[in-house]
Amino acid sequence: MKLEDKKIAILATDGFEKSELFEPMNALKEEGAQVHIIAPESGSIKSWDEKDWGESVLVDMTLANANPADYDSLVLPGGVINPDILRVNSEALDFIRTFFNQHKPVAAICHAPWLLINAGVIENRIVTSYKSIKEDVINAGARWQDDEVVVDEGLVTSRNPNDLPAFIDKIIEETREGKHEGQTANA
């Protein structure tokens, strides 16, 4: 078990891409990590599963009660709905910025780089994303690469659910390594 004694936050809300939350969550737990689902509201949040609503997951803690200092890394699942809602939530953006300011690993897949854009932490970074937001990423000052996983000083990004094996491997690796001193929030 590679992640014993590690705590990982997954920040999401309704409309997260089912595989992009459940697959990392299950893999991280299998490696011994304590994983918490963090959301703006308590209760449960519902996934989007390709063409319709899918399985729900219980929220472990609300954003208002979550402290980034308690976690070793942050995972941001994609989908279209989930990051579009969270990118205008100031608490969510502050939560993300704090991980960057504390030099902790952050992993974002699919449309989740929208959150990095709105948090002001993507400028001058090398990242990937879902192809439809490539221009958003570039316009925010990042260098976009078309690779299954891109790692830049603790920031792990991937394009879509097909990239999940590589994405999960890098989350595990970066969480084991810990802090990255070059990583900081620009906003």
Q: Furthest-apart CA pair in the chain: how many Å?
A: 41
**Chain centroid to CA 136:** 17
The token duo for 135 is 């221009």
Q: CA-to-CA distance for 39 and 103, rounded, in angstroms? A: 22
Question: Is 180 considered catalytic here?
Answer: no
**111 has catalytic annotation:** yes
Integer Cα distance of 74 and 66 in angstroms: 12
Burial of 162 from C-beta contacts in 10 A (0-12 / 13-18 / 19+) = exposed
CB 175 within 8 A of CB 73: yes
Helix locations, the chain, DSSP H: 18-30, 81-86, 90-101, 113-119, 134-139, 164-177
Tokens (6 digits) for 90: 């100031």
Q: Which residues are catalytic?
A: 110-111
